[in-house]
Structure 1
């Protein structure tokens, strides 16, 4: 099931806790990011505030499968606050532009389930944008992940050259979303219609 969580959603605390715990297991335990951890269990930073939105994919039992955080680019966000030098020009900031951060695939997933969760979450991101009037996404990604994102089929371009930060090669990117995006994702085998009422209508 895909959960869309924001300040209007009446979010399930269990879903959020599972997401923050999964983020700690992936970004801190596996990838060794130097980011805050609450109580030794939950990865939560200063951008996890009342203005953030989340897409969280769970299985039938409520266990976390995949998730992503969406930040408003007219407010403090990862690219604009921490990595503006990744952009050759101005950092994209607009009310119809969101930043995708903390794209997290649960560490326990095997290859096939991991691919399925990834595709469902990417499809959810596209459908969410269409439902919410979001025309563009920005993101900061390591080079290997950047190449995957660019291969999904949606309209995507780099905002600047790859740069070295803390032993990782990272870059900023911009993804355009329009009515043709689901078809583009379907052409590469990514599209999987979201099982969320409002997003089903949007897509």
Structure 2
């Protein structure tokens, strides 16, 4: 199932709790990021708040498959507040440009399933932007993820040269979303509007 959740309260949504748990397993347990963890279970930081939008792919019971966090850049956000040095000019600051961060795929998925969920999430992001009148996204990425983002077919522009920081080599980019974006992503083989349901399919 596909979920668009606004606001980050643990009390509101089962899918949010599952997402925060998955983020802890990926970003803290697997990648070793030094970031806040709540109750030794949930990865939540200062950018998870009332203005945050989450795009979440989950099983019918709420089990997390994949997710991303979206924030308008006219408020606090990761690139502008934590990594502004990755931008050659001033970081974006507009309600028409949002940031993608915390792109998270479940560690329980097989490689082929991970790609399906990944493609569905980026399709969700492009669709959400077109529905909401958002002209584009920005993001911070390490070099392997940076290369993946470039391969999705949508138009991308670097915001500055990649830099080696304490957490590794990172770059910042802007993703342009227009009415042509779905066709470009479809040509790249990543446009996947239908939700993915692995557990349901296995039980059928």
State if a TM-score over 0.5 links the two structures: yes
Trace 1:53-68 onto structure 2 (pairs within 5 A).
53-68=53-68
Partner of 1:144: 144
Question: What whole-Å deviation, never above 9, does each CA across 1:24-80 have from its counterpart, x for those lacking one?
Answer: 000000010110000000000001010111000002332100000001100010010
Cα distance in structure 2, aligned partners of 1:167 and 1:87? 17
The offset of 1:192, in angstroms, is 0.8
What is the root-mean-square deviation of aligned Cα atoms in Å? 1.2
What is the CA-CA distance between 1:92 and the residue it aligns to?
1.2
Q: Which runs of 5 or more residues in structure 2 are unaligned?
A: 196-204
Which consecutive residues of structure 1, in runs of 5 or more, have no partner in the other structure? 196-203
Partner residue, 2:193: 193
* Contact residue 36 and residue 45 of structure 1 kept, 8 A: yes
* Structure 1 stretches of 4+ moved >2 Å: none
- Give the Cα–Cα distance (whole angstroms) in 2 for the partners of residues 119 and 12 of structure 1: 27
Residues 51 and 167 (structure 1 numbering): CA distance in 2 closer, same or farther, change over 3 Å? closer
The number of aligned residues is 192
Cα distance in 1 for residues equivalent to 2:148 and 2:110: 18
> Where does residue 18 of structure 2 map in the other structure?
18
Whole-Å separation in 2 of the counterparts to 1:152 and 1:68: 16
Taking the aligned partners of 1:106 and 1:48, their CA distance within structure 2 comes to 19
**Any residues of structure 2 matched to 1:44-55 within 5 Å, and which?**
44-55=44-55
How does 1:1-203 map onto structure 2 within 5 Å?
A: 1-7=1-7, 12-195=12-195
Normalised by the size of structure 1, how large is the TM-score? 0.92
Q: Determine the C-alpha separation between the residues in 2 that align with 1:136 and 1:123.
A: 13
**SS of the residue 1:56 aligns to:** strand
Q: Distance in 2 between matches of 1:158 and 1:126?
A: 18
Equivalent-residue separation in structure 1 for 2:12 and 2:186 (angstroms) = 31
